[in-house]
Chain A
Amino acid sequence: MSLGHTPGSASSVREEVLDNGLRVLIQSVHTAPLATVWCWYGVGSKDEIPGLTGVSHWVEHMNFKGTTNIPREQIKGIIEKYGGYWNAYTWIDQTAYTETATRHALDHMLFIEAERMSRCLYDPSDCESERTVIVSELQGGENDPEQVLDQELTATSFRAHGYRHPTIGWLSDLQTMTRDDLYGYYRRFYVPNNATLVIVGDVDGDDAMRSVVSRFDQVEPGEVGRRTATREPEQLGERSVTVRKEGTTAYLKVGFHAPAAADRDFYPLLVLDAVLTGAKGLNAWASFRMPPPQRSTRLYRALVNAGLASAVSGALLPTEEPYLYTISMTATDGTPLTRLEEAVLRELEAVRANGITPDELRKAKNQLRARLVFENDSITNIAHQLGFFATIASWQMYSTQVPRIEAVTLDEVGLAASERLRPARRTVGRFEPIR
């Protein structure tokens, strides 16, 4: 079969929910002798409270440090011996763990994920050792002016919502958090009723389901409890933040409050982003590593071809709650940020006033259609998309991406532009280098 023709289509995905609440999604894809497992938890940095920022990500690191039945010293090579790859990531809405290996390793991968769900050790000395690793990760981010600006812009755009702080956390929280903070957070959120397990690959659905039941059936459900649920109040006026730091290059970033993935104007804004900066697709794991087709887009022509910027990119990510649509630019050497800012805001005002053309709409849809094929080129990517959308909305949203994009009209894009790109809803971030 061909993945690209029907990735994640509702008819090819088997969905079951165990008695303990674990949601299981299985899709058989027989293009390579491989299987992939993704285990998703509905917890991310937006769920963190002051004093514990960064805890979701630190917990993710701790969940590679051994379990009751996998001693610490046996972690190394546990997947590699099957030629496999494993990894994890934490972001604002979710924490996800993945293994991809030969299909014969499926039960072994499920064993690892079942252990991780309830039996991680949190040895105090491992917690301390990991503290310095994470501080090192944070410092690596601080070396990059674009990351510094992104963090400042996000914190300026959000005043109340948990999306305002970085996933890595604030340094003082990383310095003071305790082993008990980490372990308590782990026990609270790592329960089957807060998880989605996805299996895709060269597997038989019935066999895979039997393995899932035997590995996870005995994991006890738990009470996740009340989460922080502050909604971001509407932004009433333009905000800005200017970072002046030693450096060589100036950066500009403009952010607007965006719709959540399930909101009505998400897809119109996705089309608008394709017109402005090129279509990225919807796979946060894979697509953003491949630059978009963008040389004929409005902002590339107005900024890069005009010599004002060496790079421009847009980002509209599917999220559970309203996050940001951002446009990031690198000023060419010697170009004042004011000129770049005037030029980009002029373009945004033009699209707010006049919308996009039928040709632009057609091209954006073509681009998105192609990108959705390209970003589903492996079982790892397909499984990622099923789990990602299950975590933020529903996995069926993944299987209906193409018709949703096809259904977007000129008027909807025009409305999204005029409403979403209003000056009062934007935040402008500038990085001005001090040489």
Chain B
Amino acid sequence: MNQVGVGPAQTDPQPRGLAATRAVLPNGVTVIAKQTRTTPAVTLHANVQAGTVFDPAGSEGIAHFVSRTIDRGSERYLSDQIAEQLDSRGVTLSASVSRHLLSLICTCLVEDFEDVLGLLAEIVMRPRFPAAEVDNRRGEIITLIRQGEDSPAVVAVEALLAMLYGPGHPYGRRVRGTVESVERIDSQALRAFHAAHCGPSVLSLAVVGDIEPDRAIERVHSTFDGWEAKAVSRAEVPSVPATTERRRRVIPMMNKSQTDIAYGFVTIAHSDPAYHAYWLMNNILGQYSLGGRLGDSIREQQGMAYYVFSSLDANLMPGPLIIRAGVSPANVERAVASIDAELAKLVEQGPTEQEVAESQRYLIGSMPRTLETNVGVASFLQMVEFFGLGLDYDVRVPDLLRAVTRDQVQAAARRAVDPGKAAVVVAGPYDGPLP
């Protein structure tokens, strides 16, 4: 056990695998440390459960706004001082937001670990959101929203999510909000959001690199120790009623060259017992090799698209499976019909035994690549932490995938991807009908 005297720690009992060390500090901060010796560098990956699900009605985009301003001044440092400390060490702090998480990620040289950890803690614990910085970043965010409105890909996916979940649902809203909602958000609102949703009990920090786990945890402990435990609100995400019919929407953008198709379904939560069957089903459908069955049909055989793929985002609540394709306007109807046909075939006939075996072998065999870099390991450990999969998940995942049968993959397809219940959005130089 890599117990460091700051709370219960657990270590992967198996001799192989990542065997990361996890500790919960007295104030509730979770630390996951893994030593690697690939480069003389350390990746810090902080997740705070303060994602867009907490955006209140009327202030859509506030979590995203926090992600773009949290590093622009703290109680101890001005924005320029933070910038100087990061830049002088060659460190880029990447702040982003998803439905549930505010993430701050950076990589630094080992020699800079303690300084950068201290700076990260200051940013996470004590941001000030100065008004001048907030006004400036608001202009940037509005520009980003306008850029998105000019992108058929962004427009199609945002419209699809709104159609699947309803525009008021936390999974259906635009991450960046709207120009109107962003214009209403000020420093005070950002500070209030931080106070309500950011606290030690919802922070997990992964430290991956050339540093001993005990030392990493001890340093995180001393750095975050001053952050007092407090109650923070937990996300409440309403369920989504089952769909019984197909929905369609065309958003003409006649100044563009290519048309984007976003076609999708609401599927399952990550905790669903069928998760690994869904993972394989998605791989067979729209991932394996050059885009799975969809890539075979639409790109390789029919030459209709440069890209076509599917992605599965099983989340705390049932997340979407989205099929994306970029096609010439002349091919929209044919491409949508081809997606329908591939889904119908998968639902009715299921995958072949060979396809299941191939995807199993691929997903299992790709684990060493996923875990080759510090950034990859940190991201994997945070995924494991967020979904509560256990520190030995990397060791268990091959058996979990191997245990899935062909029938279970077909059952997942039957449950998830019935084309009669699909939502289909097309954005681009197209204003015709949709199948």
Contacts and interface: CB of A to CB of B under 8 A. Distances in A.
Contact of B306 (A31, A33, A140, A367): A140
B38 A2 contact: yes
Contacts of B255: 245-247
B327 A136 contact: yes
Interface in A236-279: 245-249, 278-279
B143 A310 contact: yes
B320 interface: no
B146 A81 contact: no
A35 to B, nearest CB: 11
Contacts of B84: 296
B140 A332 contact: yes
B328 A132 contact: yes
Contacts of B89: 293, 366-367, 370
A205 interface: no
B86 interface: yes
Interface stretch (B340-348, B370-378, B405-413): B370-378
Contact of A379 (B299, B328, B372): B372
Interface string A114-135: 0000000000000011111111
Interface in B116-169: 135-136, 139-140, 142-144, 146-147, 149-153
Contacts of B153: 143
B184 interface: no
Contacts of A137: 306
Interface residues of B, number: 73
A370 B106 CA distance: 12
Nearest to B146: A248
A370 B139 CA distance: 31
A330 B301 CA distance: 39
A226 B419 CA distance: 55
Interface in B181-224: 210
Contacts of A363: 87-88
A305 interface: yes
Contact of A136 (B288, B304, B366, B369): B304
Contact of A370 (B90, B150, B301): B90
Interface stretch (A13-21, A82-90, A413-421): A82-90
Given A34-B369, A291-B92, A332-B139, A81 B361 contact: yes
Interface in B273-317: 288-290, 296, 299-307
B48 to A, nearest CB: 21
Nearest to A365: B90
B364 interface: yes
Nearest to A29: B38
B235 interface: no
A350 B382 CA distance: 45
A248 B147 contact: yes
A27 to B, nearest CB: 14
A295 B86 CA distance: 9
B107 interface: yes
Interface in A293-337: 293-297, 304-305, 307, 310-311, 330-333
A377 interface: yes
B37 A31 contact: yes
A220 interface: no
B361 A83 contact: yes
Interface in A77-105: 77, 80-85, 100-102
B208 to A, nearest CB: 11
B39 A373 contact: yes
A210 interface: no
A392 to B, nearest CB: 24
Contacts, number: 209
A293 B107 CA distance: 11
A408 to B, nearest CB: 16
Nearest to B283: A80
Contacts of A307: 135-136, 139
A311 B137 CA distance: 11
Interface centre among A297, A363, A369, A370 (most CB of B within 10 A): A370
Interface centre among A101, A311, A333 (most CB of B within 10 A): A333
Nearest to A33: B368
Contacts of A140: 257-258, 306-307, 326
A371 interface: yes
Interface centre among B87, B288, B303, B306 (most CB of A within 10 A): B87
Given A76-B296, A295-B87, A378 B290 contact: no
A366 B90 contact: yes
Interface string B366-408: 1111011111000000000000000000000000000000000
Interface residues of A, number: 76
Contacts of B83: 295-296
Interface string B7-36: 000000000000000000000000000001
B108 interface: yes
Contact of B372 (A34, A84, A145, A367): A34
B368 A102 contact: yes
B26 to A, nearest CB: 34
B366 A83 contact: yes
Given A2-B38, A76-B289, A377-B38, A297 B90 contact: no
A102 B365 contact: yes
B303 A296 contact: no
Interface in A6-54: 31-34
A292 B91 CA distance: 8
A137 B304 CA distance: 10
A370 B109 contact: yes
A333 B221 CA distance: 43
Nearest to B111: A370
Contacts of B136: 304-305, 307
Nearest to B298: A133
Contacts of A138: 257
A407 interface: no
Given A293-B92, A332-B143, A333-B143, A145 B328 contact: no
Interface string A42-81: 0000000000000000000000100000000001110011
A396 interface: no
Given A83-B364, A245-B255, A248-B149, A132 B90 contact: no
A64 B153 CA distance: 27
B432 interface: no
A249 B372 contact: no
B248 interface: no
Contacts of B114: none
Contacts of A290: 92
Interface in B348-371: 358, 361-369, 371
A371 B90 contact: yes
Interface centre among A75, A296, A368 (most CB of B within 10 A): A296
Given A101-B369, A129-B303, A249-B143, 14 more contacts: A2-B40, A4-B41, A76-B296, A77-B358, A83-B363, A83-B367, A84-B366, A85-B366, A136-B327, A290-B92, A296-B84, A296-B88, A307-B135, A370-B89
Interface of A: 2-5, 31-34, 64, 75-77, 80-85, 100-102, 128-140, 142-145, 245-249, 278-279, 290-297, 304-305, 307, 310-311, 330-333, 363, 366-371, 373-374, 376-379, 433
14 contacts: A77-B288, A80-B365, A83-B367, A129-B303, A136-B305, A140-B307, A304-B136, A304-B140, A305-B136, A310-B144, A332-B142, A366-B88, A373-B39, A379-B372
